[in-house]
A and B are shown apart, each in its own frame.
Chain A
């Protein structure tokens, strides 16, 4: 007999542990109360299940039984003492039974809530109403029992009922409902803090990974083969003509290559360095495109030393050429400027080219710019694009203070 009970108990225990690991197994539990429990377990949040599983698989059954026994002893002593102190007229076992009933109910509720707090927190009102409603039912049951025991009349019961209701409600609320809900809320807050921490860790890790990826992309993608080959073609042609501009174009190309190679290696450069790089790029393009391109690069001395993420302004200038001026039949003008707008530095690249509608593929470079701004300044910086009638204005707005991460 004992063996069969033990085997059955172990079977149930293993089934519940399995459901805690994998909620999908709940459907396989035998119908009836075991299925009911399995389904309830499956409804819990993953973290709740995780904790309950850890608890159930580490704490042994004998330990639990021993703890329950200790609880019963303590409750009985408490009941006996309160009988002596408050209700000496009653037989001692009344208060002992009452203390055990209340204590065990409370202990089980708190135990349940400790592991299954999410449900209570989601419906605090419902939980409160349920607990108090059950309390009221208990009170009514008690009152009816007392009536039959003492042979009171219905009238007497009706007379006493409001008092009973108030007392039962207060006792139940104070003893059960409030502790249960407080525990549930505290546990839930703990859970949310933990979840938030995990989310933040994951976000931080993702940003760190993206940072290194961006650096790699930067290294790979900056000097466009199109730019290089077309410029070399132009140099070759000028050299063959014996034009002095061959040397000039080569010099600008060398400036550009040297500056971009060293810039690529650092995440941050002074604005003066970045503008010099943009200037050498535009000089090269100007010689190649002839009168189809005019340009202006203008940096106030006060901003020369301001540090910014490298290659960003160059990317905007390349975009202005590729998607603004090159597709335009008449060509146009590019203006690269910077100014301090009361705590915000605005760096603008304006082109008078074909504008927003006709810019296939403009997204890639700009995505890269937005990305690097976010890595360096979080939400503090942005890239704005606006129609410039004619053409496009791309503007980077960054806070004056140094970027957060180097």
Chain B
């Protein structure tokens, strides 16, 4: 039985090493993507929705912890770290799987045994432990975006992020829709995601982030699909299957 796996690690040699060891120790694993930063990791997750995710904690763009929070209970998460003593202690206490770099084959085998056992069950909820570790991280928290610059004709428009109804991916651009107007910003949606408050802007689709305050209703289209109706716009936004859980009662 094939198992889809995503490996996110920013250093090329470490990535090769983990991929090589996985190939040797777990033949059923099919690596669907091996992104080298947090933003690509989340984007690749949205594209492939793999069963198992190996996440390096320190990555550019979004940390492995942030990616794990977004994934929630939709994949089995194994963290990878060289030395984050606090995180390791919290993972031990919360029974969260992790690997220490440099990865030793014996340790990987143990982790794989555990994974295989859990594979058919619903993934563990790691969000509480992850939130603890993130809050304990030293230094100031990353600033969230407050303003966006969008060019409209000859003008540069400043958009208050709170006023945005929804963001929609448009190849290399992002469509920013407000009540009564819209603009195009020159940043791909996947790069914007990390700068937006995940509690305020819900990702309901790989290409759509919607402001929670703008959601009027969510309705069922058929057994699998849902769509979101908005306040202040007539557009109807499709909800992809993996995000319908957001609207379950």
A318 to chain B: closest CB distance in Å?
14
Asked if B17 and A363 make an inter-chain contact with CB atoms under 8 angstroms apart, the answer reads no
Provide the residues of chain A in CB contact with B83, threshold 8 Å: 224-226, 229
Query: Which of A64-72, A267-275, A322-330 has 4 or more CB atoms under 8 Å from chain B?
Result: A322-330
For residue A234, which residue of chain B has the nearest CB?
Answer: B13
A contact patch SS: helix
B143 — which chain A residues lie within 8 A by C-beta? Answer: 357-358
Number of A-B contacts (CB under 8 A): 73
Chain A residues closer than 8 Å to B191, beta-carbon distance: 329
| CB nearest neighbor in A for B40 | A329
Q: Does B16 contact A (CB under 8 A)?
A: yes
Contact A360 B141 (CB under 8 A): yes
Which of chain A's residues have a CB closer than 8 A to the CB of B11?
A: 230, 234, 288-290
Give residues in A with beta carbon < 8 Å to B.
224-226, 229-230, 232-234, 236-238, 240-241, 287-290, 292, 326-329, 357-358, 360-364
Q: In this complex, what residue of A is CB-closest to B56?
A: A230
- List chain A residues, Cβ under 8 A from B82: 225-226, 229-230, 233
> Chain A residues near B17 (CB, 8 Å)?
233, 236-237, 240
CB distance from A375 to the nearest CB of B (A): 24
Enumerate chain B interface residues (CB-CB to A < 8 A): 10-14, 16-17, 20, 37, 39, 58, 60-61, 82-83, 100-103, 137-143, 191
A362 CA to B12 CA in the complex, in Å?
A: 25
Compute how far the CA of A224 lies from the CA of B17 in the bound complex, rounded to whole angstroms: 22
Q: Which residue of A lies closest to B16 (CB)?
A: A237
In Å, the complex CA distance between A241 and B14 comes to 12
Contacts of A225 in B (CB 8 A): 82-83
In the complex where A229-B82, A357-B143, A360-B142 touch, is A326 in contact with B13 (Cβ < 8 A)? no
Considering the chains assembled together, what is the distance between the CA atoms of A255 and B223 in angstroms? Answer: 63
Instruction: Indicate which residue in A240, A241, A327, A362 contacts B60 across the interface (CB closer than 8 Å).
Output: A327
Cα(A383)–Cα(B138), bound, Å: 23
B60 near A233 with CB under 8 A, answer no
The residue that A290 contacts in the complex, of B12, B137, B139, with Cβ under 8 A, is B12
- CB proximity of A329 to chain B, nearest CB, Å: 5
| Identity of the chain A residue whose Cβ is nearest the Cβ of B36 in the assembled complex | A292
* Distance between Cα atoms of A289 and B37 in the complex (Å): 12
- C-alpha gap A234/B9 in the complex (Å): 13
* Chain B hits for A287, CB < 8 A: 13
Min CB distance B35 to A, Å, is: 11
Shortest beta-carbon distance from A294 to chain B in Å: 15
Instruction: Write out the residue numbers on chain A whose beta carbons fall within 8 Å of the beta carbon of B60.
Output: 326-329
Alpha-carbon distance A292/B83, docked complex (angstroms): 22
Of the listed residues B13, B37, B83, B102, the one surrounded by the most CB atoms of chain A closer than 10 A to its CB is B13
Q: Can you add 17 more A-B contacts, CB < 8 Å, to A237-B14, A290-B11?
A: A224-B83, A229-B101, A230-B11, A230-B14, A232-B102, A233-B101, A236-B17, A240-B17, A240-B20, A289-B11, A326-B10, A329-B39, A357-B143, A358-B142, A360-B137, A360-B142, A361-B140
- Which chain A residue lies CB-closest to B12? A290
Whether B102 lies near A236 (C-beta < 8 A) is yes
Cα of A327 to Cα of B10 in the assembled complex, Å: 10
What B residues does A290 contact at CB under 8 A? 11-13
Can you list 24 A-B contacts (CB < 8 A)? A225-B82, A225-B83, A230-B14, A230-B82, A230-B101, A233-B13, A233-B101, A234-B13, A234-B14, A237-B14, A240-B17, A290-B11, A290-B12, A292-B10, A329-B39, A329-B60, A329-B191, A357-B143, A358-B143, A360-B137, A360-B138, A360-B141, A361-B140, A363-B139
